[in-house]
Structure 1
Amino acid sequence: MTSTASPGLSRFNEATPEAASAQLHEVCASTAWDAALAAGRPYDRLEDLLVASDTAMAALTAGDLAEAMAGHPPIGRPTPGDATSAREQSGVGAAEREELLALNLAYQDAHGHVFLICATGRTGAQMLAALKERIGNDTDTEREIVRAELGKINRIRLTRLAEAAAPAASASEGEPA
């Protein structure tokens, strides 16, 4: 059977277990999710990787979800120096930032974790409206919404990983120090 994997997916498939785990941890902070996807390598197609992600996401326990959520900064306050979180939250403007942060604290008090939403492609106003709508949910309902949102985030990040061009080689790469 011939693999139809993209160059980025091929690199992921061929990575050492440690390197693959590190790549997956950048996508999702759940060790159970990371382990499930790493164990499924190699993936012939991006769609196979995405299906494996969805399956692993559905199997996460409440503790696994809490671990995954701990890897996400609050909406309106991307992690400094983290290009991924800055890109994903680029729709948040200064006008919404203060209100998002205040409501996120109230959400954390109610649910025990940050408000999590797939921010890619959403405006700050849309995220603020979703936060206002979801803050009153019961914890079990909110856990399943978070699971779905994490699944969307993971799919976007895995697609970027699989479609990434080869990294530029440094001048000292492969040479002894």
Structure 2
Amino acid sequence: MNATTQTIHLSQPQLAQICTSTSWQQLMLADMPSLNYAALCRSADVAFAQLSESDWLEAFAGHPMIGDLGTLQKKYNQGEHLSEQEQGKIKQASKAVLHDLLYYNQAYLKKFGFIFIICASQHSAEQVLEQIKARIKNNRSDELMNAAREQQKISRLRMESYQ
């Protein structure tokens, strides 16, 4: 069977690697199996649309703080290789940029109550730093929406391995 006709049935541990929101995982499990990757993506979008703020916060908590390479090695072990891929270009940053990323991440966490979420796979550390500096100026409601959109991008990226 080719990827467009292959039925996809993901387990709870596989779904947890995609997104750590237990509500999202349960919604996805209830909709399994998916007929193909496109159907899996539609199910994910429908499930994301049903999440509450606390569900989003649970999803965000499953990510290491971007730029904190020590956290990458300790936190979210089940998806550590995924997080490393997603932050690949960050590891190449200078110490000064990493220091600034950590500083702004801590300020962001203090202001909003959740870590900065960005799908960083195609961004340099400098670009991520620019984004956090811009987004830290937002209000909490807008930033929660921004982080939710980024979470969906990250999850979609992680789902690609099941095509």
| TM-score, structure 1 normalization | 0.80
CA contact 1:58–1:147 (8 Å) conserved in 2:
no
Correspondence 1:86 to 2:87: no
1:105-120 paired onto structure 2 within 5 Å: 105-120=106-121
Task: Give runs of ≥4 in structure 1 deviating > 4 Å.
Answer: none
Question: In structure 2, what is the Cα distance between the partners aligned to 1:128 and 1:86?
Answer: 17
CA displacement, residues 61-106 of structure 1 (integer Å, 9 cap, x when unaligned): 0000010011000110242062111111011133221110110000
More helix by share: 2
- Residue 39 of structure 2 aligns with which residue? 48
CA displacement, residues 102-143 of structure 1 (integer Å, 9 cap, x when unaligned): 100000010001100011111111111100000011000001
SS of the counterpart of 2:64?
A: coil
Question: In structure 1, what is the Cα distance between the partners aligned to 2:46 and 2:133?
Answer: 30
Match of 1:38 among 24, 29, 39: 29
Q: Which has the higher contact order (CA 8 A, sep 6+)?
A: 1
SS of the counterpart of 1:159?
A: helix
CA contact 1:32–1:64 (8 Å) conserved in 2:
yes
Correspondence 1:148 to 2:154: no
1:156-171 paired onto structure 2 within 5 Å: 156-160=157-161, 162-163=162-163
Question: In structure 2, what is the Cα distance between the partners aligned to 1:21 and 1:97?
Answer: 34
Question: In structure 2, what is the Cα distance between the partners aligned to 1:105 and 1:65?
Answer: 19
1:59 to partner: Cα distance? 1.3
Question: In structure 2, what is the Cα distance between the partners aligned to 1:77 and 1:27?
Answer: 20
Give the letter aligned to residue 157 of structure 1. Answer: R
1:58 to partner: Cα distance? 1.6
Question: In structure 1, what is the Cα distance between the partners aligned to 2:32 and 2:93?
Answer: 42
Correspondence 1:66 to 2:64: no
Question: In structure 1, what is the Cα distance between the partners aligned to 2:93 and 2:156?
Answer: 28
Q: Percent identity among equivalent residues?
A: 33
Correspondence 1:27 to 2:25: no
1:124-143 paired onto structure 2 within 5 Å: 124-143=125-144
C-alpha root-mean-square deviation of aligned residues, in Å? Answer: 1.5
Question: Structure 1 stretches of 5 or more lacking a match?
Answer: 164-177
